[in-house]
Structure formats: C-alpha cells, structure tokens
Amino acid sequence: MAKTTIKDGTFTLENLPYGTYAVTISRDFYSKQTVPVVIKADSTTVEVKMQASFTKAELDLLARLVHAEAKGEPYKGQVAVAATVLNRLRHPDYPDTITGVINQVIVTNGRRYYQYEPVLNGSIHQPAGELAVSAVWDALAGWDPSLGATGFFAPAKVGSGSWVRTRPVTITIGNHRFFK
C-alpha cells in the first residue's frame, strides 16, 4: 500500500507497475472517496471533486455565524472564525457537529452562557454574505489563519476580568484575538 500527502491539491505516486488501482482519498470534513485509477505507459491524471461531509444547512449556519461575528473584519479574520468552529469539532471538549458547536450553551453557577453572541441576539438568523461563504470553504480546504484556535473574542468589547483573557493567544487578526 502506497501513501502520499497532497500538496496544493495534487499528489504524485512514482514507479507503480501498470495496472488498475483503487485510490482512496480522505480529508477532515470531507467524505472519503475511493476511485479506480488505470496506470498506463504515460502519466495518468485523475480529477476528483471532494464532497464536504456537512449538510447544506450546516454549511449555511457556519457561514451565517462567520457573517454575524466577522462581517467587518479582514477576509483572513473571517476564515479564522470559521476555522475555530472546525477546530472545536476536532476537540473533545466541544460538540461534534457544527450545529452543536454553534448553539452550545454552558451553564455555570446557574447562569446560561452562549458560546456565540449572534445565537443569543438572533443575528445568526441573517443570511450570510458571499465573503462569509467563501471563508467557510477556505477553512474547509485547510486554511487556518487562527493557528489552531478554538475561540476568539473582541478585546475592545470584553472586560479585563473575563475568563477568555486568561486563554493562550494564538494570533490577533483585525479586531479579534484568537485563543486555545
């Protein structure tokens, strides 16, 4: 069994004997695909369009969150917001669905805390702009400008005593500080 890593969406396998092979392609947040590939004398090229493993409704919810949280931020910051949700999906301390992550409510000392302000104030129900949709797809493709962050906040809006200020910062982009 030969394994390879994809770089820029392409990969190369060299010195394979001629014949038919089953190539399995997998990536986080995409449906695994197995495709037949016939190796002949010349170089063989196969194009495979990967399908996100999320429903349209989940992708729309993520784009609406990005829009509500980061519509005035640089594009890189919008991608970073989307990436933090995907990073939470990988993390054992968070729900394992986009809907679960975005709608998560934590109860501490009898008080309910929403993970995202747009869920609390209802702005999550506004349609996403094109940039937010593109940011979601760029995050799904693997771009993570948040550097592995699982959350973010706007320092100008968060008090000095807030718990988020104690978290390790990965990067600041625009008006958001990203943390693990």
Percent residues over pLDDT 70 in the chain = 95
Asked if the model's pLDDT at residue 11 lies above 90, the reply is no
**What is the mean pLDDT of the segment spanning 43-54?**
85
Q: Which fold has domain 56-179?
A: Arc Repressor Mutant, subunit A (1.10.10)
Q: Which has the closest alpha carbon to 48: 63, 67, 35, 29? A: 35
Average pLDDT over residues 158-172: 92
* Cβ pair 89, 53 in contact under 8 A: no
- Residues 64-74 have a mean pLDDT of 97
Lowest mean pLDDT among 33-37, 102-106, 176-180: 33-37
3: confidence class by pLDDT, cuts 50, 70, 90: low
At residue 7, the pLDDT reads 67
Task: Give start-end residues of each CATH 1.10.10.2520 domain in the chain.
Answer: 56-179
Whole-angstrom distance, CA of residue 78 vs CA of residue 131: 8
Beta carbons of 150 and 88 less than 8 angstroms apart: yes
- Are 54 and 89 in contact by the 8 Å Cβ rule? The answer is no
Q: 10 pLDDT exceeds 80?
A: no
Helix (H) or strand (E) holding 86: helix 75-90
pLDDT averaged over the chain? 91
Least confident of 37-51, 114-128, 133-147: 37-51
| pLDDT classification of 23: cutoffs 50, 70, 90 | confident
- Lowest mean pLDDT segment, chosen from 67-76, 95-104, 105-114, 140-149: 105-114
pTM (predicted TM-score) = 0.85
Asked whether residue 37 carries a pLDDT value surpassing 80, the answer given is: yes
